[in-house]
Structure 1
Amino acid sequence: MSEKIAIKNKALKVFITGATSGIGESLANQYAKEGAILGLVGRRLELLKKIKAKIHVPCEIYAVDVLDQKGLQKAASHFIKKYGAPDIVIANAGVSTGTLAGEKEDLHTFKRIIEINLFGVIHTFLPFIKVFKKQKSGQLVGIASVAGIRGLPGSGAYSTSKAALINYLESLRIEMKPFGIHVTTIAPGYIHTPMTKHNRYTMPFILDADVAVSRFIKAIQNKKSFVIIPWQMKIVGIIMKFLPTSVWDFLAKGGPKKIRKTIQ
């Protein structure tokens, strides 16, 4: 029995939110292939059960909304008590839809996107930071977006939430360094997921979820501080960041717009 526990304790432990589809599901599957012990968080219990049934590693599932801070604390405490602190916490849960920054009718959706995409990450990390500080190790990973580099017309809420997330993760990274805790910001371009399947415009350099996630995992293993994936989008991101305002305004005004819908 002691031999099995010793082997088990050597396994990578990964805690992932937004695990029921897209990037989160691919992260779960790929880490499972590596023999990792998993903690998976999502809102839909039935989908979590299906994912758990397909993987053959120790796996705990938690049907919790990332806006439920107490629920996430309870899930984190359960996972830590059973397996010990995770090596990696990946805050992946997020939402996107079109919004108009100047329209009152989009205010509710604007708030919801920022709450989920920003505060959902904060809620995810908080339960683990104390134990990470105590053990002087651990890695916190936030999934941001190239959309956070500049404000995108028609996607004001999403751009705002990801810009705020990028800056939050940067602040956190600097704060955590003295404790030996690594913070990784991943800013993807377009990826084939349920979030992008309704986009009615060309999505340059789009990647299949499994391909993108394999690159995410490599960046996480290498403890990158900030990475844009794929590399072509890194070039686009650099250009976006340094374009003069007048040029950006001219180019962006005719850009594609996401479909607007209400997020409850």
Structure 2
Amino acid sequence: MAASARPLVFITGASSGIGQALAARFYAEGHDLALVARNTQAMHDWAAVRGLEPARYAIYGADVSKADSIVEAGTQCIVRQGLPQIVVANAGVSWGVDTAEREDLDVMAQLLATNNLGMAATFHPFLRAMQARGSGTLVGLASVAAIRGLPGHGAYCASKAGVVAYCESLRGEMRASGVRVVTLLPGYVATPLTQGNRYPMPFLLSAEDFARRACRTILRQSSYAVIPWQMGIVAKLLRVLPNALFDRLLQGRQTKHRHRLEP
């Protein structure tokens, strides 16, 4: 397939939730799509229901927790559709963990493989070519959970704090080349990832509303944004709270369900 004159965006986790909403938004903004997820059938079904033009999208099956899998998808994208203008490392998982449970150490390893190594592997196939071209935007999806550690969410909070630090490091490395790095910190967004949460979710956004705001931020090439901005204020307030007060505030708060690995 010859490269299109339209800008191309590569999005992981595109089979549902934020990834799917971002795909719809970028398509409406005139971008071609490279859609990536494990569930390729869901992406085919979604594209058919939305009536996407076949020439404007391609679908790649990959598991971001396996570096070779997502690197291969990125390599195929370059061959098939050309070098993207935007790469969105959106795919991620969110599970509660209890460090006293041995099996939860394996859960944590799986979570970090997806949320952290998976992000680096998503960007990897495009870095050298973007540097040579002198342009491109790499987008990392973190979370307001990166700001402070929450009881029962140790693995997820650690992974998202890692995303923020990793993207900040990468931004410095890429700056001289003209490649931009954007770090997005969503607050609560109504997706399959959050539907089982057992605690209040203030300033909850629909996936479509989040995608609209995120797309605007990405196209502006802002380096860092909390969406919605109200959660940014909440996060900053939590950051400056003394530890004793912060701990007392969260005492007894419901936590996310633990994930049990399949036998």
Normalised to the residue count of structure 1, the TM-score between the two structures is 0.93
Contact 2:23 2:33 in 1 (8 A): yes
Deviations 1:133-172 (A, max 9, x none): 1111100001100001111101111101101111111111
RMSD: 1.5
Q: Which residue of 2 aligns with 1:204?
A: 202
Contact 1:205 1:232 in 2 (8 A): yes
2:98 maps to 1:103: no
Q: Which residue of 2 aligns with 1:192?
A: 190
Q: Which residue of 2 aligns with 1:87?
A: 85
- Map residues 111-260 of structure 1 onto 2, 5 A cutoff: 111-260=109-258
Q: What is the CA–CA distance in structure 2 between the aligned matches of 1:148 and 1:27, rounded to whole Å?
A: 21
Q: How many residues align?
A: 258
Give, in angstroms, the shift of residue 192 of structure 1.
0.3
3-state SS of paired residue (1:204)? coil
Deviations 1:85-142 (A, max 9, x none): 1000000000011112343231111111111111110110011101011111100001
Give, in angstroms, the shift of residue 255 of structure 1.
2.5
3-state SS of paired residue (1:262)? coil
3-state SS of paired residue (1:184)? strand
Contact 1:90 1:141 in 2 (8 A): yes
Q: After the TM superposition, list the runs of 4 or more consecutive aligned residues in structure 1 that deviate by more than 4 angstroms.
A: none
Runs of 5+ unmatched residues, structure 1 = none
Contact 1:112 1:263 in 2 (8 A): no
2:12 maps to 1:17: yes
Equivalent residue for 1:66, pick from 64, 68, 77: 64
2:31 maps to 1:33: no
Q: What is the CA–CA distance in structure 2 between the aligned matches of 1:163 and 1:179, rounded to whole Å?
A: 25
Q: What is the CA–CA distance in structure 1 between the aligned matches of 2:221 and 2:99, rounded to whole Å?
A: 35
Contact 2:115 2:160 in 1 (8 A): yes
Q: What is the CA–CA distance in structure 1 between the aligned matches of 2:192 and 2:169, rounded to whole Å?
A: 30
Give, in angstroms, the shift of residue 52 of structure 1.
2.7
Q: What is the CA–CA distance in structure 2 between the aligned matches of 1:258 and 1:74, rounded to whole Å?
A: 33
Q: What is the CA–CA distance in structure 1 between the aligned matches of 2:186 and 2:86, rounded to whole Å?
A: 19
Instruction: Summarize the Cα distance change of 1:208–1:234 in structure 2 as closer, same or farther, 3 Å threshold.
Output: same
Amino acid at match of 2:47: K
Instruction: Summarize the Cα distance change of 1:204–1:263 in structure 2 as closer, same or farther, 3 Å threshold.
Output: farther
Give, in angstroms, the shift of residue 58 of structure 1.
1.3
Instruction: Summarize the Cα distance change of 1:131–1:216 in structure 2 as closer, same or farther, 3 Å threshold.
Output: same
Give, in angstroms, the shift of residue 72 of structure 1.
2.1
Runs of 5+ unmatched residues, structure 2 = none
Q: What is the CA–CA distance in structure 1 between the aligned matches of 2:149 and 2:202, rounded to whole Å?
A: 18
2:40 maps to 1:45: yes
Instruction: Summarize the Cα distance change of 1:26–1:246 in structure 2 as closer, same or farther, 3 Å threshold.
Output: same
Contact 2:66 2:113 in 1 (8 A): no
3-state SS of paired residue (1:40)? strand
